[in-house]
């Protein structure tokens, strides 16, 4: 009886152990697919601001230049830059990987940001590239964060703008995505992601060469907004903190954004390995 009881106990433990292993496999299966779309070979620029400068850590050499005097402060992870809303920004050099090459059929632009006052009727630009004919923009306006894209030549994509409500003085992660686009306007080619979640999809297409400037924290030349207004030089300054600005010529998927906002890394303070709990805790600091 004793031996039979032990055999039953071992059998039960074996079943439980196998169940745990299967459960873990299903739990961690998404991790093996996290980089399915985030292709590091397609990185175009990565500005972490960790050393207090706008150096590009992607090795593409797109080191940004300060406009005014952005301040180095604690960011969502490591350091970030605080912009004063009136004279602080970063200019990014032209690049075949961002604006002077193309056409770009896949693109991801993303950033962490914390806006000091989202209620302003004035636009506050987080990131922009291009101008009135072709371009991309991420900005805050009247309580919402917007992502926009347009290509008003070649195939006449008049533009798409998607928005979502946010909160002042809270960390958010925003991204725009052009996914598998072509030289025509098609459904569900332009996306907005906020805090790791897909917000919406709109009609869009590929982005052709656009020689106008690239900037973080303001508009250098001209851009296009959801209300159709194209602003001129050195306007729409951002007030708040920006961290981890990235540009890739690949379209991130749900797992990629989950890795940024909700990872399982053993190094929670590493770049793009912030746990969601850590992110929420940091939102109310600084």
Residue 49: band (very low, low, confident or very high) from pLDDT cuts 50, 70, 90 = very high
- Alpha-carbon gap, residue 152 to 228, rounded angstroms: 13
3-class secondary-structure state, position 194: strand
| pTM (2 d.p.) | 0.81
Give the CATH architecture of domain 40-283.
Sandwich (2.60)
Q: What is the pLDDT of residues 187-214, one digit of tens each?
A: 999 999 999 999 999 999 999 999 899 9
The rounded mean pLDDT for the chain is 84
pLDDT number for residue 37: 60
Q: How confident is the model at residue 43 (pLDDT cuts 50, 70, 90)?
A: very high
Q: Are 101 and 123 in contact (CB under 8 A)?
A: no
Residues facing 100 on adjacent strands: none
Q: Please return the burial class of 59, using the count of CB atoms within 10 Å of its CB with bins 0-12, 13-18 and 19+.
A: exposed
pLDDT at residue 81 in the model: 98
**pLDDT tens string 161-193:** 999 999 999 999 999 999 999 999 999 999 999
Q: Residue 195 in 3-state DSSP? A: coil
Q: Check whether 261 has a pLDDT greater than 80.
A: no
Residue whose structure tokens are 């909160």? 167
Q: Is the pLDDT of residue 21 over 80?
A: no
3-state secondary structure of 70: coil
276 membership: H or E segment, kind and range:
helix 276-283
Per-residue confidence band for 264, with pLDDT thresholds at 50, 70 and 90: very low
The structure tokens listed for 136 are 């991309």
Residue 131's closest CA among 110, 114, 152? 152
- 71-89 average pLDDT score: 95
pLDDT at 16 over 90: no
Short-list 149, 137, 61, CA closest to 105: 149
């Amino acid at each position: 009886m004793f031996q039979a009881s032990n055999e039953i106990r071992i059998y039960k433990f074996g079943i439980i152990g196998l169940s745990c292993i299967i459960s873990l496999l299903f739990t961690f299966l998404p991790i093996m697919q996290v980089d399915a779309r985030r292709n590091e070979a397609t990185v175009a620029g990565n500005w972490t601001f960790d050393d207090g400068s706008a150096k590009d850590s992607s090795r593409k050499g797109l080191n940004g230049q300060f406009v005014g005097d952005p301040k180095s402060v604690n960011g969502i992870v490591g350091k970030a830059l605080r912009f004063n809303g009136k004279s602080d920004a970063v200019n990014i050099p032209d690049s075949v990987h961002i604006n002077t090459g193309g056409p770009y059929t896949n693109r991801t632009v993303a950033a962490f940001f914390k806006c000091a006052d989202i209620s302003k009727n004035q636009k506050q630009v987080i990131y922009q590239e291009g101008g009135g004919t072709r371009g991309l923009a991420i900005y805050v306006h009247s309580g919402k964060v917007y992502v926009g894209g347009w290509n008003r030549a070649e195939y006449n994509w008049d533009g798409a703008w998607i928005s979502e409500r946010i909160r002042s003085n809270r960390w958010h992660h925003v991204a725009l995505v052009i996914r598998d686009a072509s030289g025509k306007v098609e459904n569900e080619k332009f996306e907005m992601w906020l805090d790791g979640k897909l917000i919406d999809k709109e009609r869009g297409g590929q982005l052709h060469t656009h020689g106008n400037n690239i900037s973080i924290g303001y508009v250098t030349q001209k851009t296009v907004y959801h209300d159709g207004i194209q602003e001129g030089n050195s306007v729409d300054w951002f007030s708040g903190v920006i961290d981890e600005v990235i540009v890739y010529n690949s379209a991130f998927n749900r797992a990629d954004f989950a890795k940024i906002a909700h990872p399982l890394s053993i190094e929670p303070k590493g770049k793009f390995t912030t746990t969601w709990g850590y992110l929420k805790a940091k939102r109310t600091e600084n």
